Amino acid sequence: MRTEICDMLGIEFPILAFTHCRDVAAAVTNAGGFGVLGARNSQPEELAWIENEIGPDKTYGLDTLIPAKSADVDASRPLSESFPEEHKKFINDLLEKYDVPPLPDDAERRDMVQYASDNNTRASNMIEMATHHSQIKLVASALGPPPRHMVDLAHEHGILVAGLVGNRQHAERQIAAGVDVIIAQGHEAGGHVGEIGTMVLVPEIFDAVAPIPVLAAGGIGSGRQLAAALALGAKGVWCGSVWLTTVEAETHPVVKEKFLKASSSDTVRSRASTGKPARQLRSAWTDEWADPHNPDPLPMPLHGVLIAEAKQRIDRGAYTPGSGSEKLVNYFVGQIVGSLNQERTCRQVVMDMVEEYIAVAQ
């Protein structure tokens, strides 16, 4: 099971865990894998917490979004002027239709216009922050190749750079940017995905970028799938959805319960949550945006700004059983959700994968 990626990252098992939850990142690293924190909003205190949990001898990584294509957002314009009237009306009508309660007056509201307008600056700051943490050994770039100056900065501090790709052309652009690892993410995966399945994509990318190591992503959460990924040429696996139902995960409890009951057919690739095609749990939210009588989602990052407060209201309201918010609430997840039918600790997930891999390999 020990592969090149284990040596590069100083880990026991070639299992990398993408997560937005600091507890999951630390738990997977402590179990012998490699936690990667989705760090668009991470603060130094959060990284310090992870490092305290894993101790000085273990490593972890960060993941940031650097979209190759996105709409411009004018931070100087009021939010009310940023979107078409039909979209604002649709959101208001939708919240009224499902009787979603308003936010309390004292609820914290994020300045999403400013947040969306400086994505590359934020990503650059994230990598700069990573250089001050010696235990961070990998920074991953999703949705597009990182600018060369970010790659050079990471390399100057001994940090590897990985790029997520959905086809061969994406991989070639990432290689041209100077990345050290390619993550081939198949159509089955949760979040932003392309149209090629993992079984086809991984060997195609492996052949295209050798000798650069490839990680397989998309529909992977068991030892059998880990063995298949290595057989296809991958040096390890990049898993995301499998951690969403763990004990440590910060997944909304209503969404976690939906995941535990869902089948592999209960996901949809939709622009409803970010403006780019992203696989997520099907819910009334995705159904409403798919209705041809309703407006199409706006481009990224405008769509995220448009729906930010609505999603915050839905998340709060979903705690009420039988509510409209409960019907609407959802989250990103891959087709492997059909196999996530029990809550386990992160350590148990890692150990189950390792033990099943050994049995299959033998």
Q: Which one has a higher pLDDT value, 216 or 77? A: 216
Which pTM was predicted?
0.93
Helix axes 223-231, 198-209, angle to 10 degrees: 40
Q: What is the pLDDT of residues 172-187, one digit of tens each?
A: 999 999 999 999 999 9
- The share of the chain scoring above pLDDT 70, in percent, equals 91
Q: What is the pLDDT of residues 133-189, one digit of tens each?
A: 999 999 999 888 988 989 999 999 999 999 999 999 999 999 999 999 999 999 999
pLDDT higher than 60, residue 257: yes
Rounded mean pLDDT, 99-128: 72
Residue 208's pLDDT band (boundaries 50, 70, 90)? very high
Residue 198's pLDDT band (boundaries 50, 70, 90)? very high
Q: Which one has a higher pLDDT value, 247 or 121? A: 247
Burial (CB < 10 A; 0-12, 13-18, 19+), residue 333, is: buried
pLDDT reported for residue 116: 55
pLDDT reported for residue 64: 87
Rounded mean pLDDT, 64-68: 70
Burial (CB < 10 A; 0-12, 13-18, 19+), residue 99, is: exposed
The structure tokens listed for 11 are: 């880990």
How many angstroms separate the CA atoms of 305 and 302, rounded?
A: 5
pLDDT reported for residue 153: 93
How many angstroms separate the CA atoms of 175 and 326, rounded?
A: 43
